[in-house]
Amino acid sequence: MEDLRSKVRFAMRTARTLSESTDALTGLGEELAFAGRQLERKVRTERRWQAIVPGLVGAGGIALGAAGGLPGIAAGALGAISSLVPYRAALAERRRNAAYLFFIANRAKR
């Protein structure tokens, strides 16, 4: 949210009249909508390569670990969980982006 607030403040600082502020906010909205679409594509790619693929590999590790008994299963589960940590970090970083609001709004429409 802070990123969005700073972008709006900056757009409003440059405007002198009501029509200029309307144009500035319209331009900012279009810019954020474009950034939201880019973020949506990035989210799909990150989800695929940072969550789904490591999750499947981790599930395979758990299956192979089952041959080694409980310690093997535990090792596979820890490996699967640790492979998802970068995805969670990327998710937290995305939420700081002003375009994330547009991404969430578009996702809610579906």
Q: Please say whether the beta carbons of 101 and 50 come within 8 A.
A: no
- Please report, for the chain, how many H helices and E strands are present, in that order: 6, 0
Number of structural domains the chain divides into: 1
What's the whole-model pTM score?
0.49
6 vs 29: CA distance, rounded Å: 14
DSSP secondary structure letter of residue 41: H
52 vs 31: CA distance, rounded Å: 30
9 vs 37: CA distance, rounded Å: 23
Both tokens of 103, joined, read: 């991404």
Is 18 in a helix, a strand, or coil? helix
Q: Residues 17-68: pLDDT tens digits?
A: 778 778 888 887 888 888 877 878 887 787 777 777 777 777 777 777 777 7
Instruction: Check residue 1 and give its pLDDT.
Output: 58
